[in-house]
Structure 1
Amino acid sequence: MQCLDNLLLNTDSYKASHWLQYPPGTDATFFYVESRGGTYDRTVFFGLQAILKQYLGRPITGADIDEARELFAAHGEPFNEAGWRYILQRHGGRLPLRIRAVPEGTVVPTHQALVTIESTDPQAFWVPSYLETLLLRLWYPVTVATISWHVKQTLRQFLERTSDDPEAQLPFKLHDFGARGVSSAESAALGGMAHLVNFLGTDTVSGLLAARTYYDEPMAGYSIPAAEHSTITSWGREREVDAYRNMLARFAKPGAIVAVVSDSYDIYQAISEHWGRTLREEVIASGATVVIRPDSGDPVEVVHQCLSRLDEAFGHTVNGKGYKVLNHVRVIQGDGVNPTSIRAILERATSFGYATDNLAFGMGGALLQRLDRDTQKFALKCSAARVDGRWIDVYKDPVIDKGKASKRGRMTLARHLEYGHYKTLPLAGEAVALEPAQAPLGYADALETVWEDGELRRDWRFAQVRERADAARL
């Protein structure tokens, strides 16, 4: 929305007063971002580049300052007009700060510094704090990428156990159905793109556009023709089989894949009678793979019943690992899908001898919306300030909640070059990065300067992000 384009207003109200609250003599501040735990013990770092390009890429203007001054005056907050005018005149509207971060796609254990933000002009020491609201929204793409990555590990485990060609199938086993269930187009773009770090299947077009815009990826994901309830039920219950036949006629070509929702009335009758008898020979003759989609009921039980009935109708082959692979047909489950139900569905199917080849999943709300900042307990905190020429540690340590204790001092993230272990370590003096002499044996700095004084210093391509995420394993 154009009315939300002003960077100075992309903050919390109380941030406008914080420049007056630091100790006299403060001329630098240092902040960091971490996941303080949560549902998963490691996160996939992703999305900072998109946020930087979208919101920090445009210099602030005099008109931005005028608008912010008027709004905050009416809103009841003080406003640092002189400070923002200084940034406009001295820096051409580019914010004087340095942001360092782990390379995007990196899988990092929780409780480690993922990003550091520090001021670079003594007259603008307050800028990192002002950007907390904006930059902490990084939690969203990181959390979506993390959920998607962990589901990928589950799927990989079952494919390696039951499939002859697990790596070829894995990228298309989880499809993003989440665009309609999120709160905004921006959420669809960031979340849809974050899922595509791990998979190639999506129906969230906004995610494709975001990957193209922010990570230079021409086409990040793929989809197939698929029916929805309206395109089936518009034929009427008596002509349900004609609706399915139309899908075959329109889309079922040799080598093609077409998905057909089949539970508008009775999923079991649809499989056993319509697909398994009336249309059986047409399915086989088409040379396509027809993917049946149930959309109600208990996911574990329904998927098992669908596999069994499709097996009765179309038969199967037994692969090299001794598991059944259906002929001509597959099943995709999109209702009630979340990381827990996916594992339960796969456990049931595997226990009855069906390879994971037979199944794919579509996840919507549980992928892009059923999460919040506390899913991975994300926080952006100040850890150091330079007051009267001396760096002091800044931290919180609440007696009643030690889980909210924050880190102290200027810091960076280090990685062991051989074993891949991570440690958050202090920085010496005014050093920007970890100096070799200060590094523990075998460790090197894992953070890179990605943004400095209005310029993007690292421009990751989507393929690089994917490669890092895929290289990590549970």
Structure 2
Amino acid sequence: MMINPILAIDGYKVSHREQYPEGTTRVYSNFTPRSDRFFRSPVADNKLVFFGLQGFIKWFLIDMFNSQFFAQPEEQVVSEYKMLMDSYLGKDAVDVEHIRALHRLGYLPLHIKGLDEGDKIPMKVPVLTITNTRNEFFWLVNYLETVLSAELWKASTNATIAHHYHKICAAWAEQTCDDFAHLDFQCHDFSFRGMAGMQDVAQAGCGHLLSFKGTDSIPAVVYARQYYTGNDADYFIAGSIPATEHSVMCMGEKDHEIATFRRLICDLYPQGFVSIVSDTWDYWQVLTTFTRELKAAIMAREGRVVFRPDSGDPVEILCGTGADDDQSATRTPQEKGSVEVLWEIFGGTVNSKGYKVLDSHVGLIYGDSITLERANEILRRLAAKGFASSCVVFGVGSYTYQYNTRDTFGFAMKATWGAVNGTGRMIFKEPKTDSGLKRSARGLLKVVRNEQGELCLFDEQTPAQEGEGELKTRFLDGKQYNVEHLEVLRQRLAAQQ
């Protein structure tokens, strides 16, 4: 939907301009993750991975405002605003001259400062501040709260979740693998179909790409290239491999399923990686019978055949229903689990840490019902069974990336300072009926690093103090500043495991 961005607001924002005290000339607000109490992770560390501001500034505050507001005829913009407000709040209930004045100015008179994206931010430390640069546009700061919050909370939330998947995979790789070569692709984004639309996929899906280089969400790759690489055609953002879906397997017919496998492995993809969904009818038949019949063809290929189970309990499908220390010969394939079954058929190597690594011609990816807890449990059980964590890849879907809210990290934008009739006012909220979560900071803010390198908030600052610290100018009067490449963000985050 192409919308006039001045209308991307909550309805109650329209009346706030006249509600501020007479003589108001400045509003200063911040956007802060307040709590991770609803974030479920076995490696929770009370921090958020900040991501998304750079892209939002470019596509919304600059590109969309320029094309859909400032570049449109003044009367068209003002008339559209008035027509909507007349029907929404009543005829002539809303003055429109401030909209006309903004259009004539030709840019957004705002100063946004933000922390570095890809950095890990403790709870209650603001990731950005925003204020107006021209007195008459004091109303614009919190007018944009709704869209700023809606566009930023999820990108940071999903970047944080992806980082936790990476932390889990890295921890088990440290214990069971000789190297970390597989980590960039161990979690593959499968979430597109369950996300809240294409913009959501692009923006929030890009958060996955701070920690991993595997995704099926192509809009996220496009978004990353446009807003985080400067359209750098030579930079590798992410990739994938040829893969089947159930319609492909079904069209080949049940009675000829092994022929479908053979065609995929030998004719269509005689080399390289190929992923084949394997539970369309009988997964264990595929893994125990088809694999033996196709073993010679698989081993003769240059590349890897990746089997994809897509139903059942992922922990049991991959690791088995039996005890991890049970080595009895009478166990069923289901009791052994997929990794052990493939090991028995294709073998592999034992690495320097004593863990078994599947032969490079075969692999497994599981992309259904994976969560942080399940991923950790799968890798824990594989280690207990003597297998390296590199034996499996996870498809991370919309349950992981969509089943979250703004409250997952308690994001809120609050005003903490303003100026009325030339005098600064330190403002705050501290509801007596609240647990303390909603208590805001006070006054002008500064974020600095302590001796341990942790980011810390200092409130009640002077204007000179507010100009110091880690919050850097990202947007000023219609222009973007301190733009960074995706590679810088990736390296910054990787250094903070």
Q: What does residue 70 of structure 1 align with?
A: 83
Q: 1:114 to 1:301 in 2, by over 3 A?
A: same
- TM-score of the superposed pair, with normalisation by structure 1: 0.93
Q: Give CA deviations for 1:9-35 in whole Å, capped at 9, x if unaligned.
A: 011111011001111221101000111
CA distance in 2, matches of 1:286, 1:110: 50
- TM-score of the superposed pair, with normalisation by structure 2: 0.89
How many pairs were matched up? 456
CA distance in 2, matches of 1:95, 1:47: 19
Q: What does residue 145 of structure 1 align with?
A: 159
Q: Give CA deviations for 1:221-243 in whole Å, capped at 9, x if unaligned.
A: 00001111111121111111011
Shift of 1:412: 2.1
1:134 aligns with 2:147: yes
Q: What does residue 37 of structure 1 align with?
A: 35
1:249 aligns with 2:266: yes
Q: What does residue 104 of structure 1 align with?
A: 117
Q: What does residue 25 of structure 1 align with?
A: 23
Q: What does residue 354 of structure 1 align with?
A: 387
Q: What does residue 263 of structure 1 align with?
A: 279
CA distance in 2, matches of 1:233, 1:196: 33
Shift of 1:87: 2.1
Q: Secondary structure at the match of 1:49?
A: helix
Shift of 1:419: 2.3
Q: Give CA deviations for 1:305-340 in whole Å, capped at 9, x if unaligned.
A: 111111111112101110001112111110111111
Structure 1 stretch 176-185 or stretch 242-251: which is displaced more? 242-251
Q: Give CA deviations for 1:100-122 in whole Å, capped at 9, x if unaligned.
A: 00011111111101100011111
CA distance in 1, matches of 2:264, 2:303: 11
1:309 aligns with 2:341: yes
Task: Map 1:195-210; keep pairs closer than 5 Å.
Answer: 195-210=208-223
1:426 aligns with 2:450: no
- Is the CA contact 2:314–2:368 (under 8 Å) kept in the aligned structure 1? yes
CA distance in 1, matches of 2:78, 2:219: 31
CA distance in 2, matches of 1:64, 1:250: 58
Question: Which of 399, 404, 409 lines up with 2:438 in the alignment?
Answer: 404
CA distance in 1, matches of 2:116, 2:95: 34
Q: Give CA deviations for 1:334-360 in whole Å, capped at 9, x if unaligned.
A: 011111111111111111011011111
Q: Give CA deviations for 1:366-394 in whole Å, capped at 9, x if unaligned.
A: 33311111111111111111122222122
CA distance in 1, matches of 2:109, 2:395: 43
- Is the CA contact 1:252–1:290 (under 8 Å) kept in the aligned structure 2? no
Q: Secondary structure at the match of 2:182?
A: helix
CA distance in 2, matches of 1:394, 1:427: 10
Shift of 1:434: 4.1
Q: Give CA deviations for 1:198-245 in whole Å, capped at 9, x if unaligned.
A: 100000000011011111253410000111111112111111101111
Question: Which of 49, 59, 75 lines up with 1:54 in the alignment?
Answer: 59
CA RMSD of aligned residues (A): 1.5
- Is the CA contact 2:426–2:460 (under 8 Å) kept in the aligned structure 1? no
- Is the CA contact 1:8–1:64 (under 8 Å) kept in the aligned structure 2? no
Shift of 1:80: 4.3
Q: 1:321 to 1:251 in 2, by over 3 A?
A: farther
Q: What does residue 183 of structure 1 align with?
A: 196
Q: 1:250 to 1:447 in 2, by over 3 A?
A: farther
| Aligned-partner residue type, residue 266 of structure 2 | A
CA distance in 1, matches of 2:210, 2:94: 40
| Aligned-partner residue type, residue 96 of structure 1 | P
- Is the CA contact 2:274–2:306 (under 8 Å) kept in the aligned structure 1? yes
Question: Which of 458, 464, 469 lines up with 2:482 in the alignment?
Answer: 458
| Aligned-partner residue type, residue 393 of structure 2 | A
Shift of 1:430: 3.0
| Aligned-partner residue type, residue 376 of structure 1 | F
CA distance in 2, matches of 1:98, 1:69: 27
Q: Secondary structure at the match of 1:160?
A: helix
- Is the CA contact 1:8–1:65 (under 8 Å) kept in the aligned structure 2? no
Report % sequence identity: 34
Q: What does residue 438 of structure 1 align with?
A: none
CA distance in 1, matches of 2:273, 2:358: 14
| Aligned-partner residue type, residue 28 of structure 2 | F
Question: Which of 404, 407, 414 lines up with 2:448 in the alignment?
Answer: 414
CA distance in 2, matches of 1:429, 1:73: 42
Task: Map 1:316-335; keep pairs closer than 5 Å.
Answer: 316-327=348-359, 328-335=361-368
Q: Which runs of 5+ in 2 are unaligned?
A: 320-336
Shift of 1:154: 0.5
CA distance in 1, matches of 2:378, 2:279: 18
Q: 1:342 to 1:80 in 2, by over 3 A?
A: farther
| Aligned-partner residue type, residue 273 of structure 1 | T
Task: Map 1:109-128; keep pairs closer than 5 Å.
Answer: 109-128=122-141
Structure 1 stretch 155-164 or stretch 66-75: which is displaced more? 66-75
- Is the CA contact 1:268–1:309 (under 8 Å) kept in the aligned structure 2? no
Q: What does residue 226 of structure 1 align with?
A: 243
- Is the CA contact 1:225–1:251 (under 8 Å) kept in the aligned structure 2? no
Q: What does residue 385 of structure 1 align with?
A: 418
Question: Which of 201, 207, 227 lines up with 1:194 in the alignment?
Answer: 207
Q: Secondary structure at the match of 1:332?
A: strand
| Aligned-partner residue type, residue 264 of structure 1 | T
| Aligned-partner residue type, residue 477 of structure 2 | D
Q: Give CA deviations for 1:259-318 in whole Å, capped at 9, x if unaligned.
A: 11111111111100001x110111001122111111011110101111111111111210
Shift of 1:432: 7.3
CA distance in 1, matches of 2:404, 2:77: 33
- Is the CA contact 1:263–1:296 (under 8 Å) kept in the aligned structure 2? yes
| Aligned-partner residue type, residue 76 of structure 1 | L
- Is the CA contact 1:139–1:378 (under 8 Å) kept in the aligned structure 2? yes
CA distance in 1, matches of 2:465, 2:127: 15
| Aligned-partner residue type, residue 244 of structure 2 | A
Shift of 1:73: 1.3
